[in-house]
Structure 1
């Protein structure tokens, strides 16, 4: 049976309908930070129930790169990439103000994601992205870099923040201890990471220490010393409760799960049972627990949609044929994996391919490395387009 609405009822509905101003106010309210302080509890999943904040810096890079692109469909796809919640890299002191700027835009139902990456003597085993601080400048790292980041977070207690701590640093101390550059950096790395963990141990923060990937610390000989190396620094920081565990595959290419493993046909495969990131976590997490450190993880899926592209595990620079991988999510199907994340902003170069350029690293000249590529961190439009074309799932 159908009923007709009288004039009074229609008028009431008309009054109840939100105006454009009310709609705008509702959107603003949805974008507001929480009304009370955020507390991320150790042992919980800090990403659960939250959206991954899409930082405006990365979206801006994409918008600038596609400003003059006439292909409307391609432009729309690229814009969608900018709406994916990815990590913001704070890799110089000059970028520290971006932390406060970013946190001021994060809504209550979102979690901000920031990479802490500026140790003295950074990237001791590579040339492509070695940082601004020289070995020994630990005082500057503390006072000009970590302290201001901590101050920005303290000023935004109502915002949830995930911090990825110093990619490649502690793993380099395990596997590249024979290099003079890494020997020189060792004390600064350990002191710096410990200081970062202690200073950034704030209630609204969840920290994950970088632990390389399955093709790095996943070798049988590296699992125990790798776990002990991370745990040593964690304990030196006072075992901060806001350290939730580790980050793996950051800026990497490894599959989350793949059978057989990517390099399972190699003669030395018998010495590495961690031929995907799932198996790496399954094996590394118990070693971390034994060493006395939290063992949950986040895994970077930003560029791992296509595998079988590299000639060797250790080839890390602008790998040809890569594609955007699984979108960030806290639904991982693994009790120890808090989230799949986009750690590396796809389109920002890993390193320059010109052998005559400053900071050239031979890995960026390998046959499996994309050419031409600009200096680390600079935008590479052609590589971004390849990541987009090879994305799984598609945009």
Structure 2
């Protein structure tokens, strides 16, 4: 389980957000497993990803802007920053910026009750399904016509479905909440990727079953490796297993994306597998949509340079830190700490 970035553009500048639209058809009687009908002229097939100048690394300037801020990164929508009464307006603001740049917005929804199981990113004001559904409804209302990619609830499904790791904050009805969000956001036109954890999050033989129950049939597909460090080859192999599992359950035509923001290096021998600001992590492959079979491409969902939590010199989850960014760029700051 991984801590999330909960400040992002939201806390850094209280900027804006977005989601999107176009080319998707939600499951119906004629399409029971949720195949997406995507027009060949869908803008997401042509446009590049939106580079938001309000993101922390871009604002830092210098090498941080060049190496990190110049790449597209997801805008995290969190209830701490954008509650039900404000979230629609912020979505319209952010997607308006993306539209003006003629690029595709990328957004992460991170607000399900009980998220992160009480750890670094658990500060969520939502405690009920009704609160969550009302928030998602407003998000969906802001999405129509905006044509984005949406990562839905990092870690929620693998955390809540784990057979080996207890989650004291797991909410009742979590699958129904994810299913509602999958259906609502996809019906608004977003390409939604329901988060499926990563290749080292085991056991996962039953994960396709949970993906189905959580509404992946309504979505474009699923995401992997969000805020984690697994090699791209491992994630592709893992995604292939998920796709095979879904096909056995009657769900076909799904796609996936991989977060490559910090998977550019493997852990040194004997180091174990640290996932909280590991000193050996480096920037991974740049975000790019490829549409190679089921593999839609690489994204930077986690913001490089933002802390995972107060471990290995990091500050509070989501806080920008020059030292952490330096580590990721060239490994020059393996020691030190954030202010």
> Relative to 1, partners in 2 of residues 1:105 and 1:178: Cα closer, same or farther, differing over 3 Å?
closer
Alignment of 1:16-35 (within 5 A): none
Deviation string for 1:36-76 (max 9, x for gaps)? x8434616597432201112331xx224445xxxxxxxx15
Alignment of 1:264-275 (within 5 A): none
> Relative to 1, partners in 2 of residues 1:377 and 1:180: Cα closer, same or farther, differing over 3 Å?
closer
Deviation string for 1:233-263 (max 9, x for gaps)? 217xxx42xx111100001101112xxxxxx
> Relative to 1, partners in 2 of residues 1:180 and 1:300: Cα closer, same or farther, differing over 3 Å?
closer
Question: Which protein has greater RCO, CA pairs closer than 8 Å, 6+ apart?
Answer: 2
Deviation string for 1:79-109 (max 9, x for gaps)? 4521211111112252334322110112384
Computed over aligned residues only, the root mean square deviation of the Cα atoms, in angstroms, reads 2.6
SS at match of 1:56: coil
Q: Report the CA distance between 1:151 and its aligned residue.
A: 1.6
> Structure 2: 5+ residue runs without aligned partners?
1-20, 26-35, 333-339
> Relative to 1, partners in 2 of residues 1:177 and 1:189: Cα closer, same or farther, differing over 3 Å?
farther
Deviation string for 1:300-359 (max 9, x for gaps)? 11111111248445x321111211111111237x42111111111111111123xxxxxx
> Relative to 1, partners in 2 of residues 1:200 and 1:93: Cα closer, same or farther, differing over 3 Å?
farther
Alignment of 1:322-341 (within 5 A): 322-331=281-290, 334-341=292-299
> Structure 1: 5+ residue runs without aligned partners?
1-36, 67-74, 258-275, 354-369
Q: 1:379 aligns with which of 303, 317, 320?
A: 320
Q: 1:62 aligns with which of 57, 63, 66?
A: 57
Q: Distance in 2 between matches of 1:196 and 1:177?
A: 26
Match of 1:116 in 2: 109
Alignment of 1:198-277 (within 5 A): 198-202=183-187, 204-217=189-202, 219=203, 222-223=204-205, 225-234=206-215, 239-240=217-218, 243-257=219-233, 276-277=234-235
Q: 1:141 aligns with which of 132, 137, 142?
A: 132
Q: Distance in 2 between matches of 1:232 and 1:204?
A: 21
Match of 1:283 in 2: 241
SS at match of 1:52: coil
Match of 1:181 in 2: 168
Residue 78 of structure 2 corresponds to residue 91 of structure 1? yes
2:23–2:37 Cα contact (<8 Å) kept: no
Residue 158 of structure 2 corresponds to residue 191 of structure 1? no
Across the two proteins, how many residue pairs are aligned to each other?
Answer: 291
2:126–2:132 Cα contact (<8 Å) kept: no
Match of 2:14 in 1: none
SS at match of 2:168: helix
Match of 2:336 in 1: none
1:303–1:387 Cα contact (<8 Å) kept: yes
Q: TM-score, normalised by structure 1?
A: 0.67
Deviation string for 1:337-390 (max 9, x for gaps)? 11111111111111123xxxxxxxxxxxxxxxx31x111111111101111225
Q: Distance in 2 between matches of 1:64 and 1:116?
A: 23
Match of 2:29 in 1: none
> Relative to 1, partners in 2 of residues 1:77 and 1:189: Cα closer, same or farther, differing over 3 Å?
same
Structure showing greater radius of gyration is: 1
Match of 1:350 in 2: 308
SS at match of 1:286: helix
Q: 2:69 aligns with which of 82, 93, 97?
A: 82
Q: Distance in 2 between matches of 1:89 and 1:181?
A: 24
Residue 304 of structure 2 corresponds to residue 317 of structure 1? no
Match of 2:143 in 1: 153
Q: TM-score, normalised by structure 2?
A: 0.78
Deviation string for 1:157-199 (max 9, x for gaps)? 1x211110000001112325662515x42x2421221121122
> Relative to 1, partners in 2 of residues 1:320 and 1:199: Cα closer, same or farther, differing over 3 Å?
same
> Relative to 1, partners in 2 of residues 1:291 and 1:316: Cα closer, same or farther, differing over 3 Å?
farther
Q: Distance in 1 between matches of 2:256 and 2:294?
A: 6
SS at match of 1:123: helix
